[in-house]
Amino acid sequence: MASWNDYNDAQSNPNLIPKGTLAKVRLTIRPGGFDDPSQGWTGGYATRGSTGAVYLNGEFTVLEGPYAKRKIFTLIGLYSPKGPEWAGMGRSFLRGMLNSARGISDKDVSPQAQAARRISGFADLEGLEFLAKIEHGTDAGGEAKNEIRMAVTPDHRDYAQAMGRQVAAAGYAPPQPAYAPPAPAYAPPVHTPPPAVPAMQQGAFPIPAPQPAAGADPRPAWAR
């Protein structure tokens, strides 16, 4: 039982989502108004900071589970005056997002997979839904906060299970059986003739076969 006199074992920030949690999230880019067409940065999505660093200001909304509707804020690096490392991490993160959202193995180098990893601009990332691994980091003031630095792709052992729960929660219906034409609404009755009724029951008498006259030769004419 927790002690109300000793708080050394109390969680430091109960609002944090546990580290390592997998959750499906949706990306919203908070526009910063900075463009550089030579880099393909158009539409005002990029932000340029006071140090000269350029990034996408990502807002990730958790879509399901006990943390649904929680928002996580993470910067996606595009450029740093300190060197290419931050931009490289940003490109790797965006590659993982596209793989996760579009169900592509990171090892898939087919033409279809390569095409799926291309975008026409940052606008294509707006609203992207993928499976994320939630981590812990610190903000500018040194306070703990949640971050997303990795997208979970189909190569991860938990991807299928996590995405399967999402599909089920979204109302997934199992495949239906092969199509069979419906039975007609109206089928004409099959005509069955009534049973034969004996002549006597119809009120008629049987007609006897003709008999030869008395004394006449019963043989046919050709035999006489």
Confidence check: pLDDT of 181 > 50: no
The string of pLDDT tens digits covering residues 130-165 is: 999 999 998 888 889 999 999 999 988 888 877 764
The residue assigned the tokens 């006071």 is 50
Residue range 109-138: mean pLDDT, rounded: 95
Cα distance from N-terminal residue to C-terminal residue, the chain:
133
| Residue-averaged pLDDT of the chain | 81
Nearest to 87 by CA among 52, 114, 120, 111: 52
Q: Residue 5: which pLDDT band, with cuts at 50, 70 and 90?
A: confident
pLDDT > 90: percent of the chain: 58
The string of pLDDT tens digits covering residues 41-74 is: 999 999 999 999 999 999 999 998 899 999 999 9
Residue 97: per-residue pLDDT = 96
Return the higher-pLDDT residue of 211 and 202.
211
Secondary structure (DSSP) of 65-115: GGGTT-EEEEEEEEE-TT-SHHHHHHHHHHHHHHHHHHT--TT--SHHHHH
Residue 16: per-residue pLDDT = 92
